[in-house]
């Protein structure tokens, strides 16, 4: 098969498991992506199966601990599909979710597009293109039985463990004047665990994570479009969840967001 057909076949397989809530050990060897670029080629085919324009992007493995946990040497980008997103205060079905965790994240909605270019974008350039900052919660999942052993190429093909996403309201605070690296966040599961974190837990600063995503897309020939949302990775240890959980991520003056798990 051609590379396109290999990507299509791998995407078909992963999409079927995603929709059915089932898992596989790994992508079969004859269609398995072997490089990050091949993984992104598969991921691109997943986007084609969405019924709506792409909502945005996520970043996985933005901490050294997260990278060690899944045996990768750097962050991974994934697509946030429109139909996987709800607004803060809504409910999400846990369903067959295997990971069963919620993650508190800083998210940026872009005000203007950043197209591919030869020169890397600086953090200041990436931030200047942002329109609004939002508190967010990601509820990730993987289509693999053990996502810690399949490697970066297959994880990227599996959309960097993207699954469900909760976007809170745009903050009214003057976030551009804040030190987001030191900005605290608290994530709570009602009646259960509470964890504390800060922006530095995502590549040292959520703004640095945003710039990483912009440049990762640029290297792939992809434009980060105006209106798309970038969620920058968990800034707090992931919280275990179950059906009946109420998860809240509180970012202080930047606002809070919650979601009910049913």
* Torsional class of 230: left (φ above 0), alpha (ψ -120 to 50), beta (otherwise): beta
**All domains in the chain, ordered by first residue:** 3-261 (3.90.850.10)
Tokens of 262: 């049913």
Separation between Cα atoms, residue 41 and residue 7, nearest integer Å: 6
pLDDT score recorded for residue 6:
87
pLDDT score recorded for residue 4:
67
The three-state secondary structure class of 47 is helix
Within 10 angstroms of residue 114's Cβ, the number of other Cβ atoms is: 24
pLDDT score recorded for residue 254:
98
Mean pLDDT of each 10-residue bin along the chain, 262 residues long: 82 97 97 97 95 96 87 95 97 96 98 98 98 98 96 98 98 97 97 93 97 98 98 96 97 98 98
pLDDT score recorded for residue 2:
67
- Alpha helix ranges (H) inside the chain: 3-20, 36-47, 64-69, 123-128, 152-157, 206-219
pLDDT score recorded for residue 69:
86
Residue with tokens 């940026």: 108
Q: What's the pTM?
A: 0.96
């Amino acid at each position: 098969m051609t590379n396109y057909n290999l990507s299509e076949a791998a995407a078909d397989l992963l999409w079927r498991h995603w929709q059915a809530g089932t898992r596989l050990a790994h992508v079969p060897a004859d269609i398995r992506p072997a490089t990050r670029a091949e993984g992104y080629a598969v991921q691109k085919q997943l986007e084609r199966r969405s019924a709506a324009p792409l909502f945005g992007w996520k970043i996985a493995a933005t901490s050294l601990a997260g990278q060690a946990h899944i045996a990768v040497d750097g962050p991974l980008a994934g697509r946030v599909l429109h139909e996987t997103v709800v607004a803060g205060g809504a409910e999400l079905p846990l369903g067959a979710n295997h990971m069963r965790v919620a993650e508190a994240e800083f998210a940026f909605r872009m005000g203007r597009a950043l197209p591919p270019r030869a020169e890397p974008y600086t953090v200041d350039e990436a931030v200047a293109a942002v329109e609004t900052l939002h508190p967010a919660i990601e509820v990730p999942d993987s289509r693999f039985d053990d996502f810690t052993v399949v490697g970066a190429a297959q994880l990227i093909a599996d959309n960097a463990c993207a699954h469900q996403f909760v976007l809170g309201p745009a903050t009214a605070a003057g976030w551009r004047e804040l030190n987001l690296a030191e900005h605290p966040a608290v994530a709570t599961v009602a009646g259960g665990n509470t964890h504390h974190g800060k922006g530095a837990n995502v590549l040292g600063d959520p703004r640095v994570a945003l710039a990483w995503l912009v440049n990762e897309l640029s290297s792939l020939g992809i434009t980060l479009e105006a209106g798309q949302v970038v969620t920058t990775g968990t800034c707090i240890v992931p919280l275990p969840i179950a059906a009946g959980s109420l998860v809240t991520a509180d970012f202080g003056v930047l606002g809070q967001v919650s979601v009910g798990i049913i």
